[in-house]
Amino acid sequence: MRRCKKCGAPAVIYMRQHRLGLCKAHYLEWFVEQTERTIRRYRMFRRDEKLLVAVSGGKDSLAVWDVLWRLGYQADGLYIALGIDGGIGYSAESQRLAEKFAQERGLTLHIVDIPGEYGLGIPELARRSRRGKGKPCSVCGLVKRHEMNRMAHDMGYDVLVTGHNLDDEVAVLFGNVLQWQMGYIVRQGPVLPEEPGFARKAKPLVRFYERETAAYALLRGIEYIYDECPFAQGAKSIYYKELLNRLEEERPGAKLQFYVNFLKAKEEGWFRDPREAAGPVQVVLHRCESCGQPTTAPGKCAFCRLMDQVGAQAQASRT
Please, what sign has the CA dihedral across residues 42, 43, 47, 51?
A: negative
Please identify which residue in 7, 232, 243, 283 interacts with ligand SF4, judged by CB under 6 A.
Answer: 232
Cα(21)–Cα(12) distance, integer angstroms: 7
Non-local CB neighbours of 131 within 8 Å, separated by 6+ positions:
138, 139, 142, 306
Interface with ligand SF4 includes 78 (CB under 6 A)? no
Which of Zn ion, ligand SF4, none sits in contact with 15, Cβ below 5 to 8 A by type? none
Please identify which residue in 23, 54, 55, 140 interacts with ligand SF4, judged by CB under 6 A.
Answer: 140
Helix (H, G, I), strand (E, B) or coil at 291: coil
| Helix runs in the chain, H state only | 24-41, 59-70, 90-105, 114-118, 122-128, 137-154, 166-178, 182-187, 210-220, 236-250, 254-267, 302-318
CB of 231 to ligand SF4, least distance (A): 4
Please identify which residue in 136, 163, 190, 204 interacts with ligand SF4, judged by CB under 6 A.
Answer: 136
Angle, alpha carbons 139-281-289 (nearest 5°): 45
The four Cα atoms 273, 275, 277, 278 give a dihedral, to 10 degrees, of -150
Per CB under 5 A, which region of 14-22, 74-82, 204-212, 304-312 contacts Zn ion?
A: 304-312
Please, what sign has the CA dihedral across residues 203, 196, 107, 85?
A: negative
The DSSP 8-state label assigned to residue 10 in this structure reads B
Interface with Zn ion includes 301 (CB under 5 A)? yes
Nearer to Zn ion, 10 or 141 (CB): 141
CB of 232 to ligand SF4, least distance (A): 4
Interface with ligand SF4 includes 137 (CB under 6 A)? yes
Which of ligand SF4, Zn ion, none sits in contact with 137, Cβ below 5 to 8 A by type? ligand SF4
CB of 239 to Zn ion, least distance (A): 33
Cα(196)–Cα(217) distance, integer angstroms: 35
Interface with Zn ion includes 304 (CB under 5 A)? yes
Binding flags for Zn ion, 254-293, as an x/- string (CB under 5 A)? ----------------------------------x-xx--
Q: Binding-site residue total for ligand SF4 (CB under 6 A)? A: 8
**What does residue 53 show for φ and ψ, rounded to 5 degrees?**
-95, 125
CB of 136 to ligand SF4, least distance (A): 4
Interface positions with Zn ion (CB under 5 A): 288, 290-291, 301, 304
Interface positions with ligand SF4 (CB under 6 A): 122, 136-137, 140-141, 229, 231-232
